[in-house]
Amino acid sequence: MKLLKSAVLLLGLAGIGGLQAAPTAVIETTIGTMKFDLHQQATPVTTARFIELAKSGWYNGKPFYRVVKGHVAQAGINDDNPDHQKYRVPAEFSDKLPHIRGSLGMARDEDPNSGSTEFFICLERRAHLDGKYTNFGQLTDGDKVLDAFAALPVEEKWIDNPGAKPIAFHSPKQPVLIKQIRIEP
């Protein structure tokens, strides 16, 4: 009985004292499932917003509308949707979180504090995103699904970007949808 009380006390203190594990996002898509450890301590506001939206079912049925080979797979809404403004979060850049293959990042427009609902997954190392985009998670399971994203046939489109390079908005020829995003403690 004494051992049981000690175990219960330790489990309780782990939750209170901040020793609990970082949350995991399980992203189920029509081409497979991926798991990401979320960087809750380094990016608390971004992570909280993503968790809120995921738990509400907001991402369910949304497409990965942009897949650029050697770059990213992106899901969420575009800047024209009013939800974009409603869910804005401040930038939470970290030199300790480089954008490597499988990094989960917050998409944004020219304003560093304009991230909201759109996220991307790096298909390869993307050093030019470091210090410019919030990296709030890292792939821990589902590498073959990431390979499947990288191999998707796409319809190539380039969007004018006045004063800068055109933006690649390559769309998968076969839609890839988010079935659901589950958050595990």
Measured CA to CA, the distance from residue 123 to residue 75 in angstroms comes to 13
Q: What is the pLDDT of residue 5?
A: 38
CATH number at residue 163: 2.40.100.10
Sign of torsion over alpha carbons 145, 148, 154, 158:
positive
Mean pLDDT of the chain: 88
Q: What is the pLDDT of residue 81?
A: 65
Measured CA to CA, the distance from residue 122 to residue 149 in angstroms comes to 10
Containing domain of residue 158, as a range? Answer: 21-184
Q: What is the pLDDT of residue 3?
A: 41
Q: Which residues contact 61 (CB under 8 A, 6 or more apart)?
A: 177, 178, 179
Specify which residues 170 forms β-bridges with.
none
**Confidence band for 168, pLDDT divided at 50, 70 and 90:** confident
Tell whether 148 is covered by a domain.
Answer: yes
- The pair of three-digit structure tokens given for residue 64, joined into one six-digit string: 């990965």
pLDDT(79) > 80:
no
pLDDT(137) > 80:
yes
pLDDT in tens, 16-39: 445 567 899 999 999 999 999 999
Number of domains in the chain: 1
Q: What is the pLDDT of residue 1?
A: 42
Mean pLDDT of 60-86: 85
pLDDT(179) > 80:
yes
**Confidence band for 80, pLDDT divided at 50, 70 and 90:** low
Tell whether 3 is covered by a domain.
Answer: no
Tell whether 58 is covered by a domain.
Answer: yes
**Confidence band for 101, pLDDT divided at 50, 70 and 90:** very high
Tell whether 180 is covered by a domain.
Answer: yes
Measured CA to CA, the distance from residue 108 to residue 142 in angstroms comes to 25
pTM of the model: 0.85
Tell whether 7 is covered by a domain.
Answer: no
> Percentage of the chain surpassing pLDDT 90?
72
pLDDT(85) > 80:
no
pLDDT(178) > 70:
yes
Alpha carbon 124 to its chain centroid, in Å, reads 15
